[in-house]
């Protein structure tokens, strides 16, 4: 039976440390602030933004949410980002994804100053990650995944890792982070043949493809560490990309959904913003 990796508890410890750092920054006259831009009325995005505002408040940090209508033009959005780049009171800028149709996400994200790109998605930060250099910020969910992995004490170097999913937000960055820790990495996707056989080789499985219960227990090598990034809403509730009930019988460590990666994503966002404030 697998040990459960408690993302809530690990995230709570990070937040506690950040609360102390924010207090210290305030004593020095620095009041850390995160600016979040939400375009449109996507219900899930609205929940995520509220959670980020609450996360900021919990550690004593300021947040400033800019809620814009869905018909906001690229020119208007870029003008707002430019203003926030130039605002010395703002330490981090996050553009909530997905953006409404008609707005080019890559182009928009490219206007955020790399030094304030606390989501770690600017091409300059991603490029440094690709080159094995130290970016200003690492994307939050992949960074959280690595923290959860490290919490197990399992050696990553030399292990075979399989990442299921190739998104720019999770799959690709987490694969690069694993490579930087000297794992042997395979990325799987919708065109991968014999997915089960590939996953079965892995000592570390990262599931981030957005398909409920895709990875079953029989696809997992006994003793593997399983990190489930998936968050899929079904009538029965929230489930991950991993069939938890069957996987927990063969894995050595596994994250639950909810309560695994989710809390870590916001914790790493807060951490990046505090780091930006410290560097200012």
pLDDT tens-digit series, residues 10-61:
999 999 999 999 999 999 999 999 999 999 999 989 999 999 999 999 999 9
Q: Reply yes or no on whether the pLDDT at 134 is more than 90.
A: no
Would you say 225 and 153 are in contact if contact means Cβ atoms under 8 Å apart? Answer: no
52 is catalytic: yes
| Cα gap 170→165, rounded to integer Å | 8
72-101 pLDDT, tens per residue? 999 999 999 999 999 999 999 999 999 999
Is 96 a catalytic site residue?
A: yes
> Can 119 be counted among the known catalytic residues?
yes
The structural domains of the chain, ordered by start, are: 31-113 (3.40.50.10860), 140-262 (3.40.50.720)
Select which of 21, 116, 117, 119 is catalytic. 119
Q: Is the peptide bond before 258 cis (omega within 30 degrees of 0)?
A: yes
Q: Is the pLDDT of residue 236 over 90?
A: no
> The whole model's pTM is what?
0.94
Share of the chain above pLDDT 90, in %: 96
90, 64 contact by CB (below 8 A): yes
Q: Which of 96, 116, 147, 271 is catalytic?
A: 96
Residue with tokens 């996050």: 94
Q: Which of 52, 116, 172, 271 is catalytic?
A: 52
């Amino acid at each position: 039976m697998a040990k459960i990796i408690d993302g809530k508890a690990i995230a709570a410890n990070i937040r506690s440390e950040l609360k102390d750092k924010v207090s210290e920054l305030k004593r020095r006259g620095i009041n850390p602030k995160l600016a979040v831009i939400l375009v449109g009325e996507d219900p899930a995005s609205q929940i995520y933004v509220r959670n980020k505002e609450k996360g900021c408040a919990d550690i004593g940090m300021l947040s400033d949410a800019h809620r814009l209508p869905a018909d906001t033009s690229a020119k208007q959005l870029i003008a707002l980002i430019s203003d926030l780049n130039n605002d010395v009171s703002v330490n981090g800028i996050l553009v909530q994804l997905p953006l409404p149709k008609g707005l080019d996400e890559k182009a928009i994200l490219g206007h955020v100053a790399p030094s304030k790109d606390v989501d770690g998605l600017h091409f300059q930060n991603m490029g440094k990650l690709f080159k094995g250099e130290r970016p200003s910020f690492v994307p939050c969910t992949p960074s959280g995944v690595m923290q959860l992995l490290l919490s197990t004490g399992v050696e990553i170097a030399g292990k075979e890792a399989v990442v299921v999913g190739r998104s720019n937000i999770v799959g690709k960055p987490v694969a690069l982070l694993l490579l930087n820790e000297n794992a042997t990495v395979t990325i799987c996707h919708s065109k991968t043949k014999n997915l089960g056989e590939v996953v079965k080789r892995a000592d570390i499985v990262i599931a981030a493809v957005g398909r409920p219960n895709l990875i079953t227990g029989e696809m997992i090598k006994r003793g593997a560490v399983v990190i489930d990034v998936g968050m899929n809403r079904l009538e029965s509730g929230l489930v991950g990309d991993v069939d938890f009930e069957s996987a927990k019988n063969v894995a050595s460590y596994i994250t639950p959904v909810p309560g695994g990666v989710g809390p870590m994503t916001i914790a790493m966002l807060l951490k990046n913003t505090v780091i930006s404030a410290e560097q200012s």
